[in-house]
Amino acid sequence: MKNKIIALALTSVLAVSCADESQDVTMHAAAGTAGDFKANIKDRVFFKFNQAEVDANAKKALGKQADWLKTYQATKATVEGHCDARGTREFNIALGNKRAESAKKELVKLGVTADRLKTISYGKDRPQVPGDTEMAHAQNRVAVTVVE
């Protein structure tokens, strides 16, 4: 009896699993929304240790952000500057500000009007990835564009 119950339960799980595979369960955000931006546009650019210069990879990502923002003219955004855990709080707040301003300046250069963009620095206070590894540090040296 116990084996029949297990077999029946397993059959039910497999049937549900197979049914789910035949359906498209991809979730799509409405065009022009914050969800659309986050799902379809690279919302962050990364920086080297103690640097705030926008490199070629960042320019490519910011180009996609600028195109999206130019398409949705009524949308405003905040560029958040973040740093890894190393260094003083004051140093990282200043560096995060430079990163956010660098990203904003590039977006403006690419045609987004400055009055639609604001910046904020979180320094090391709001890590994107927890941990004290080089991988975590690299993920936290970032400017994140958050649309409103």
- Tens digits of residue pLDDT in 31-81: 999 999 999 999 999 999 999 999 999 999 999 999 999 999 999 999 999
User: Residue range 2-25: average pLDDT?
Assistant: 38
22 against 52, higher pLDDT: 52
CATH (one of 3.90.1300.10, 3.40.50.720, 3.20.20.140, 3.30.1330.60) for 27-147: 3.30.1330.60
- Above 80 in pLDDT, residue 9? no
- Total-model pTM: 0.81
Query: What is the C-alpha separation between 83 and 74, in angstroms, rounded?
Result: 30
Q: What is the pLDDT of residue 66?
A: 98
- Above 90 in pLDDT, residue 95? yes
- Above 90 in pLDDT, residue 82? yes
Contacts 24+ apart (CB under 8 A), 55-60: 58/103, 58/106, 58/143, 59/106
Angle between helices 89-109 and 56-71 (to 10 degrees): 60
DSSP 20: H
Q: What is the pLDDT of residue 28?
A: 76
- Above 50 in pLDDT, residue 12? no
